[in-house]
Amino acid sequence: MNNTILVYATRWGATTETAKEIIRTIKERFEIDIDLVNLKDKRTKNPNITPYDNVILGVSVAKFRWAKEGKRFLKDNREKLNGKKLFVFVSSGGAGDAYKANDMEKYEHLQKKWIDNTLKKYNLKFTSRKALGGRYVGNFADRGDNRDWGVIRNWAEEIGTIISSGN
């Protein structure tokens, strides 16, 4: 039985890819398996997180909002999450643009806006969090993919170090 679950809410699939890279990195480096759950899938939209010590939540940010399944997950699991380690990332094209432009003030502002403030609303604390950039699609496709896979893997290693130490 794995003791870490990664739940995610995506619109166009970038969050899924980022989630899989995080899982792959942790498996490779720490030999830890992580369960992966899509909150948009009807069959898995209400995962039972009781058995897990560690929860990683990944959420798509677009149209100035979290994907709604991400918020619903926090709301439904507020009490259970209090006793667990919670790691949160967002796929945010805006944060990715700021990071690539080396505008750290803006990046930090967006990280607070899209992660810290949302968690505060639900009275939750995170163990670690990261705004990880995204991949624009549709009318915004020319803005491209601004994820930094090195940053993604480093954050995965940070999570792996924490969960493998078990305290």
Ligand X SMILES: Cc1cc2nc3c(=O)[nH]c(=O)nc-3n(C[C@H](O)[C@H](O)[C@H](O)COP(=O)(O)O)c2cc1C
98 binds ligand X (CB under 6 A): no
**62 near ligand X, rule: CB under 6 A:** yes
| Of 23, 117, 102, the residue nearest 66 (C-alpha) | 117
Task: Kindly determine how many residues on this chain lie close enough to bind ligand X according to the rule CB under 6 A.
Answer: 22
Sign of CA dihedral 14, 15, 16, 19: positive
- The answer to the question of residue 109 lying near ligand X (CB under 6 A) is no
Q: Which residues pair with 126 in a beta bridge?
A: none
The one segment of 28-36, 39-47, 129-137, 153-161 that binds ligand X by CB under 6 A = 129-137
Residue 119 binding ligand X, by CB under 6 A:
no
Q: Is 63 in the site for ligand X (CB under 6 A)?
A: yes
- Of the ranges 49-57, 71-79, 87-95, 154-162, which one interacts with ligand X (CB under 6 A)? 87-95
Q: Which residue is nearest to ligand X (CB)?
A: 134
* Residue with tokens 């030999």, as numbered in its chain: 31
Minimum CB distance to ligand X smaller for 20 or for 24: 20
What distance in Å separates the CA atoms of residue 106 and residue 13, rounded to the nearest whole number? 25
Which range, of 23-31, 37-45, 48-56, 93-101, touches ligand X by CB under 6 A?
Answer: 93-101
Strand partners, 97: none
Q: Check binding of 111 to ligand X (CB under 6 A).
A: no
Residue 102 — φ and ψ, nearest 5°?
A: 60, 30
- What is the spatial distance between Cα 131 and Cα 115, in angstroms, rounded to a whole number? 8
